[in-house]
Structures are given as C-alpha cells and as structure tokens.
Structure 1
Amino acid sequence: MEQLSTLDALFAYTETQSTPMHIGQMLIYDPSTAPATNGGKKGAVGFKDILRYIEGRLDGARIFRQKLVRVPLDLDHPYWVDDADFDLEYHVRHIALPQPGDWRQLCIQAARIYARPLDMKRPLWEFTVIEGLNNVDGVPPGSFAVLHKFHHAAMDGKSGLEMTLALHDMDAKMAPREFEGNYRPEPDPAPLNLLFKAQINNVVNPVRGLKTLQNLLPVPKRMFDLTRRMKQRDDAKGRAPKTRFNKKISPHRVFDGREFSLADIKKIRINFPGATVNDVMIALVGGSLRAYLKAKNDLPEKTLKIGAPVSVRSDDDKASAGNQVTMMQVGAGTHLDSAAERLEFVMAETQRSKAMTEAMGAKTLMEISGAMPAGLTAASTKLMVRMGLVENMNPAVNTVVTNVPGPMVPMYFAGAKLVKSFGMGILAEGQGVFHVVTSYNGNVILTFLADREIMPDPEFYAACVEQSFMDLMKAKSTKAVKPVKKVAPKKKSVAVKKAEATKPKKRVAASAATAGRGRAKRAKK
C-alpha cells in the first residue's frame, strides 16, 4: 500500500465527467513484421496475441494491477492498493474502423474513446486496439492502432514514456514473456485504519513542510538578482489574455496531429543559433494559434502564454511513478506577424523562464505543496471545481505544450513495428486545447486535443499548424551577423609607389653594408 503525493492526489480530486484526468497516446503498428506464433501465420497479430503479450508485462509497473482507495470523506490523500478482482480483458478493448479506414475516421474514433473517463474503482488504465487502418497516409494497409489511457494521478509524461518503452521490444523476433501467475493481492485497508492514519498525517505533514521552508530562504534574493540580470521584454509582460480556449469545458473532444522531419527541425535551428527543439515547437504552436484566432476574429493584442511542463525527476526517482513536474510560463509570440521574430521572442522567453524556475527551486516548491493538511487540500480543490471558480478566473496560461522525447530507433509490439506515435494530453477547466510534442525514429510529432465545442474544425487548426511550420522553414534570424563586404583597395599614386620602392632598397643596402663590415673584421682577425 502506497499513498499518493499531494500533486498526484489533486488529479483525483479534480476528476469530473467533463474533465477526465488521464493522459495517453495513440500508437500505430505495421503487423507485417510479426513472426508466426502459436500456429498463426507470419505478418498477422490477433487480439489474443496482444492480450498474451500485455499479460507477460503486467509486472512492469504498479499501475497495471493497483487501484485507488479513497480515505472516508477525503480526510487524507488516497492510497494505491492491489486489485483483487483484476480483469485484463476489461482493460484491453478491441474495435475496428468502418471502411475505408482513413485518418479522419481514426481521429474521430480516438477522440470519442479518449473523452470517456476511466472507472475510478478499477486500475486506472485502458488500452483500445483499433483495427482496419487501410487508408491512412504513411501507414501500410492492414495496420492497427493502440490507444493508451493512463490516469494522471498515476504518472506524468516522463514516467509514462518509460512504461511505453517497457511495453516494447527492440527486435520483432523477441519471444513473448510468459505470465508467471504469482499475483497475490493484498486485502483492501479497513476504513477505520485509513482514518487513524489520516489523523497522524494531518499533524505530521505541516511540520514536515515547515522544515522544508528553510530551503526557500535564499529564493527572494536569487529572484531579485535574476530579474535585474534578465529583464523581460515589455511585450512579454502581463497576465495571459482570455481567449475562446479559456472557458468552461464540455465533455466532447477532437484530436489531430502532424508529423515533421527532425532534419527539418535542425535546419530551423541552424538559422536561429541557440534555439532548442522545444523553442521551435512552442513558436510553431504560437504561429498556429495566431492564425486560428485571427481567422475567428479573436486574436488578442497581447501575446498568449504557454505552460511548458518541466520534469524535476532526479536519477533516484526514475523508478517511481506519479508526477514530478513543475510548469514554466512562456510567451508564445502570437502578437508578432513574423515567424522569425516570434521564434526569437520564444527563445528569450524560455531562457528567462527556465532560469526563474531553477532559481525558485521547483523541487522544493513541489515538496512544500504537501505541507497543507490533506483534508483541507481535498475540500478546497473540490469546492473550486464544483462552484466553477476555475473557469471564471483569468487563465495563468492559454494552453499547454508538453515535450516528451521518444526513442529514435524502431520499436516493436507483439512483433508489429511501431510506425507512428501521437501523444494525447489533458484538458482542465479554463484550458480548452492541449498540445503534445513527441519524437520517434527521426520524426517530431505535434498533436493537439481540444474541446469540440471550442474547436469544431480541427482540420483547419491542423492546416494552421502546417502553415506555421512552413513559415518557420523560410524564416531567417533577424539577429544574424551580416557578412562584411570586401572593399577594393584604392589605387596608389606614383609618388607613393616610388616611396615604397625605395624603402626596401635602403634596408637591403644597409643590411649588405653591415654584412660587409662584419666580414672585413673577421678577415683582419
């Protein structure tokens, strides 16, 4: 039995029918690489093969067979406990697209599945196998997709990536792992025991938080020094403006994404020395938002603000699940028409925001968040959600762009080759669009999840993404050093030429005379 941290528990407290708190991804596979197994034919992966493959890897992560147990009245944070009634076939579902099985059909079906909340009384994950992908560009006919859903209370993007890697092989011919069958679940804890622990924790946690506060004593001076050294541009200051994306969320979703070559991203970075992949993708989103809002006559004069999650997971925390992230606030440059100026604006913003985050001590802030009594945290969070206070507040950020780098080598699932990978984010009240940047095997992928009522035309926004990328490909840095033109030497006058001609001769003559006197002296000796 393991208790959730305060940050993890917040995702459980804010779960509603309109704002399910899960993250995920949609992975597309080509089964032609799969070897023949269990009497089947080569190049075919059946649903039973997938069940057997997943079953052999259930010991790879706690979330697979543990459920959430709430403390009565939410007087303390929930606990992870073993699920005695675990049923693999409940968590792994199977559907097929109607023909022709194209990209638009896949996106619509994925959005419908993703919009449904997970059952909070079972292990908080779900896989849906989607067959019939016969008309998707860049995907071999006969391919299938697997849509993942993991509750955010159980993991962040980085720990989710590690779980994804654990579900894949480096070789299509690797033998499936066998399920050992030694799962022995513990009984659910008694409610009275949970209440007793809650009383202890509500006393101990604030004391522990006060001890951690001493780590924040140097922060004000560090922040003051940093603010003086790295001054923020005037057009980057201020709060995030309110847009069509920042209002109450409906339970309906849309989903789409675009794939770009990592080689093209590198070309953009060459034109803008010092730019990171994250800078390029945030500027790409800034250009997309600008084009979309401008077409809707909803573009604010001030720049939109983007939340960029940053992992604070240390090497010692690699094996742990849960959330260990903080959030940077970065101006998207949506007030700038030039793609070059927008990227340079984002570069300055990310550099400053990253320095501010480091100066504040993000890890310490995350630890201090647990100082408040858990019962008070739960009550205040649920009250804000139910009263609609969140969507009526001015947004801290207009959207989120999270970057979760993936493997740069081919991966295999039940022998099928992974050909495309699309991340899927999370919508909270007041934030109706979420962007995920992933990478796989030489490509960088930008996907977006949005409220269908707020963005009824995801194809148009996807076109805005493509145009924004083309603008960045054509852009050149405005701060590049211009090459110095070679100036032709001026013609010398006759007098100057004569003077230059006589100088060497005098030196040679003097040198020869000196040498002659030296030889005469040596001869006399």
Structure 2
Amino acid sequence: MERLSAFDAGFLQAEDADRHVSLAVGAVSVLEGPMPDFAELVAGMGERLLRIPRFRQVVRPQPFDIGAPAWVDDPDFDLSHHVHFAALPHPGDDEALFRFTAEAMEPRLDRERPLWQCWIIEGLAHDRWAMLMKVHHSIGDGIATMHILAGLCDGAAEANGGTYVDAIRAAHEPEPQGFSLPKPTLNPARWAAAARDIATAAVKTVGVTVEGALQIVNGLIRSGGGSPLLGPVSTMRRYSAVHVPMASVETVCQAFDVTINDVALAAITDSFRAALLRRGEQPRHDSLRTLVPVSVRSNDALGTADNRVSLMLPYLPVDKADRVEQLRTVHRRLTRAKAGGQRRAGNAAVAAIKLVPYALSSRTVRTLTGLPQRGVVTLATNVPGPRQQMQMMGRTVLHMYPIPPVALRLRAGVAILSYHDELVFGITTDFDTFPDVDELAFGIKKAVACLVSAARRPGPGRSGLTLLHPSVAYL
C-alpha cells in the first residue's frame, strides 16, 4: 500500500475547500485523420493506459485523517468508466474544440474511481480528431503528467529516452551551494579556519532561504489591491489556446539573452495588461503577482507519479507599456527571485511538510486553502514537452494543448508547453468573470510577434548566445 505525500494530498484538500473548483489538469492532443475505429482505438489505448499504476488505483482516506490517504487497486475497475466518446458540432473548428475542453474539465473527478478520464473526440475540421486526457493534480505535477502521457504514444520506450522531459533545466541546475564538512585534518592550526568557513557558509545558506521564505509569505498575504482578476469563481470554465513557432521564440532569446520562460512570461504580461485596460483598470507595478511553479524533479525521478515543485511569486510588469522593457524586467525579476532563495524556500517548505504528522499537516492545508487568498492574481506554469513530433495509434500528433486548473480565487491560469517546433499557451478562465479568454490568448500571440519584430531590428543589448534546447530552458 502506497500513501500519498502530504503535498500530493494537499491538492485533494484544496479542492475540498471550494466546491466550485476541480483540481484536475489535462492536455488535448490534436491528431491527423482518419480517426481509427472507436473499438479498435479503445482496445489499443486501453492496453497502454492500464500500464500506468495510478490509472488502476483509487484514493482511500484514513479515518479522521490520522494518516495519509493510500493508493489502492480498484477491485471494480472498468475501463468504460474512464474512456468516453464525443463528437464536435459542425464546423468542428478550434473554437468548438476549446468549448468542449472547458466543459469536460469542469466536473470533479469521481473519488470512488481512479482519478482520470480520457475523451476521444471526432468531428474536427480538416480531417482531424483529438484526445483529451484529464488527470487529478494529486497524481502528479506537469512533468510527471507529461511522462505519463508519453506512455500512450507509439514507441513509448524510445520516446521516453530521447524526446520527453529527460533533460529539464531544473535537473541540471545545481542547487545553491550550502556548506559541507571539510576534509579531516590533524593540523590544529586549520581547525579554527575550517570552523569559521562552516559557520559562514551555514549563515549564508540559512540567510538566503529565510529571505526567500519571507518573500513568499509576503506575496501570499499581501493584498492584490482588489484586482478584477482575483475573487470567487463559478463552476463553469472557458478555455482557449494559441501556439507560436519555437524558432520565433529562439530569435527573441538570442537577441536579448533571455530564456524561453522569460519570453513566455513577457507575452503573458502584455496580454494581461491589455485585459486590465479592457476592464478600466490602470495597471500598477503590483497588479499581477504570479504563481510560477518551478520543478525540483531530478532525472532519475521522471517516472515517479507525484508532485515535486517549488515556486516563485514575481510581479509581472503590467505597468510597463513597452514590450521589450517588459521582457527585460521579467528577466531581471526572475533572476532576482531565484537568487533570493524563493525556489529553495519553497522546496524546504514542501520537505518540511513531510516531517509533520499528517493529521496536523492536512488540517493546516485545509485551513489555509479555505482562506480567501488575496496576494496572488494568476498562475503561469511552464512544462517542457516532447522535442519530436509524436505518433499515436499510427497518427501524427499535430498539436498538444496544456490545460491548467482554476482555483484559490484565481480567475485565470496559463500553462505553457513546448511541443516539437512550437510553444503552446493553454488558458483556463472562470466563465462568468473572465469571458475574454480568446482575447487573452490572441494578446499572447501578438506580444510574441512584436518581440520577434523588435529582436530583428538592429540595436544595443543583442546577444549571439546559443540557446539551450526548449525542454531545458525551463526558467
């Protein structure tokens, strides 16, 4: 019997705290046609789906929360409870697909069954079809979910080794240097120097972590200033997505010496600035405190289904009108956030949860997630995806669209996914309070295009650095 970590179980508790939210994440794969026979498709996909242990297990809570819930095999497992068929109405365009995606993601997953669903969708224009995977966040974070989805593709064994998330930057970036014991020595003259070095390193390490922790706490408790993007949500959702050429993003990265994540967040900044202006709000420097999850997953844990993330809480510079200045400011703020220890502090907090008795940690998480959070305004999560175009049941996967959840009073969330030769932005919003989701998506695409134009103009501050592969440019 395998138990959920307190962190994984926290997603179930956060969902319990607000009856209007579902903390499932997902991805839509658009494939070229023709679609295989449905029975043949279910048989082929079912075999692959059942290789994933979590897809055959249910969550069993402990009485009175005295211990963490457990993953146990479902004795009544029935694949037909999880794999569904849908057909889009004519003309089967992207708008119809996105509308169906929002509706499919709205209901909570049934906790009496394994926490996932698969929708096979026909009727897309241009001889295409789609598959939507919906997985509860308690099963895994974005990288874990992408690794699970890799197993559904043709040649999964080869794909996992060469095309999926096997080289994320977080796995290669060394942790901030702490301190280590010096080599043993018999020279008393060196003992005092060694002790001084250890004390200095320890103080520096603790200081950086504490500074990061204070920044995170301040970001969580400080009010977002009554932002119209923050507040109660309904049970209904809207969804939209756009993709931009990875080559265009690389052009911006090379010109301004920034990462893919910097470019993505700058584009999100510009589009949210326009969203605030549409609402009659004058964007301020503190209008868009953003939750940016950061992977702390090592390469040897890619196949583990769980959540291994820390976080940063930067302000995105929506107060700046110039797109290049937005990009430079995003880069500076993320660099400062990393240097200030936010990632380390978040990771330390997650590790500390494991040391606290589950009854206490679960009650704490439930209490905190039930409070009306007012500091963070939106979510922007970056998931490195497949580097090569994938095949599923012999059909080419043309596009992959990530689907983030909406929760904790955040009325809009953005997930960023690199797939093949494009960078994809998937946006989920509350149906009632954020109806302009398509404008938000279009604004992101427009901002990237404007940054590409700026990168191609001669001017100071250009860099000829070679860009890391998209899947490693996590931050």
TM-score interval, smaller chain: 0.7 to 0.9
The one-letter amino acid of 1:389's match is: L
The within-5 A match list for 1:363-382 is: 363-382=347-366
User: 1:410 corresponds to which residue?
Assistant: 389
- C-alpha separation in 2, matches of 1:133 and 1:11: 33
1:220 aligns with 2:200: no
Please tell me whether the aligned partners of residues 243 and 300 of structure 1 are also in contact (alpha carbons under 8 angstroms): no
1:19 aligns with 2:21: yes
Indicate which of 233, 252, 265 corresponds to 1:282. 265
The within-5 A match list for 1:168-317 is: 168-170=153-155, 219-222=205-208, 240-273=224-257, 275-303=258-286, 304-317=288-301
Identify if the C-alpha distance between structure 1 residues 117 and 478 changes in structure 2 by more than 3 Å, giving closer, same or farther.
farther
Indicate which of 460, 463, 472 corresponds to 1:480. 460
User: 1:208 corresponds to which residue?
Assistant: none
The CA deviation string for residues 429-466 of structure 1, in whole angstroms up to 9 with x for no partner, is 22111101112121111110010111112222223223
Please tell me whether the aligned partners of residues 170 and 411 of structure 1 are also in contact (alpha carbons under 8 angstroms): no
User: 2:374 corresponds to which residue?
Assistant: 394
How far apart are 1:241 and its partner, in Å?
A: 4.0
The CA RMSD over aligned residues, in Å, is 2.6
3-state DSSP class of the match of 1:371?
Answer: coil
User: 2:219 corresponds to which residue?
Assistant: none
- C-alpha separation in 1, matches of 2:353 and 2:211: 25
Please tell me whether the aligned partners of residues 60 and 163 of structure 1 are also in contact (alpha carbons under 8 angstroms): no
User: 1:95 corresponds to which residue?
Assistant: 86
- C-alpha separation in 2, matches of 1:455 and 1:216: 47
Indicate which of 103, 108, 122 corresponds to 1:117. 108
Please tell me whether the aligned partners of residues 312 and 362 of structure 1 are also in contact (alpha carbons under 8 angstroms): no
TM-score, structure 2 as length reference = 0.80
Please tell me whether the aligned partners of residues 3 and 80 of structure 1 are also in contact (alpha carbons under 8 angstroms): yes
The CA deviation string for residues 235-271 of structure 1, in whole angstroms up to 9 with x for no partner, is xxx8644411210121110000111001111111122
Please tell me whether the aligned partners of residues 68 and 123 of structure 1 are also in contact (alpha carbons under 8 angstroms): yes
How far apart are 1:375 and its partner, in Å?
A: 1.6
User: 2:178 corresponds to which residue?
Assistant: none
Please tell me whether the aligned partners of residues 334 and 342 of structure 1 are also in contact (alpha carbons under 8 angstroms): yes
- C-alpha separation in 2, matches of 1:299 and 1:246: 15
User: 1:10 corresponds to which residue?
Assistant: 10
- C-alpha separation in 1, matches of 2:264 and 2:209: 27
- C-alpha separation in 1, matches of 2:386 and 2:403: 17
TM-score, structure 1 as length reference = 0.73
1:423 aligns with 2:399: no
Task: Return 5+ residue gaps in structure 2 as ranges.
Answer: 160-200, 216-221, 463-475
Identify if the C-alpha distance between structure 1 residues 318 and 224 changes in structure 2 by more than 3 Å, giving closer, same or farther.
closer
Please tell me whether the aligned partners of residues 66 and 81 of structure 1 are also in contact (alpha carbons under 8 angstroms): yes
How far apart are 1:468 and its partner, in Å?
A: 2.0
Please tell me whether the aligned partners of residues 353 and 361 of structure 2 are also in contact (alpha carbons under 8 angstroms): no
Indicate which of 25, 28, 31 corresponds to 1:29. 31
Identify if the C-alpha distance between structure 1 residues 224 and 114 changes in structure 2 by more than 3 Å, giving closer, same or farther.
closer
1:159 aligns with 2:159: no
- C-alpha separation in 1, matches of 2:10 and 2:461: 49
Task: Return 5+ residue gaps in structure 1 as ranges.
Answer: 33-43, 135-140, 175-214, 232-237, 483-525
- C-alpha separation in 1, matches of 2:276 and 2:58: 41
Question: Which has more radius of gyration?
Answer: 1
Identify if the C-alpha distance between structure 1 residues 479 and 67 changes in structure 2 by more than 3 Å, giving closer, same or farther.
farther
User: 2:73 corresponds to which residue?
Assistant: 82
1:437 aligns with 2:416: yes
How far apart are 1:367 and its partner, in Å?
A: 1.2
The one-letter amino acid of 2:265's match is: I
Please tell me whether the aligned partners of residues 75 and 378 of structure 1 are also in contact (alpha carbons under 8 angstroms): no
- C-alpha separation in 2, matches of 1:481 and 1:452: 42
Identify if the C-alpha distance between structure 1 residues 265 and 55 changes in structure 2 by more than 3 Å, giving closer, same or farther.
same
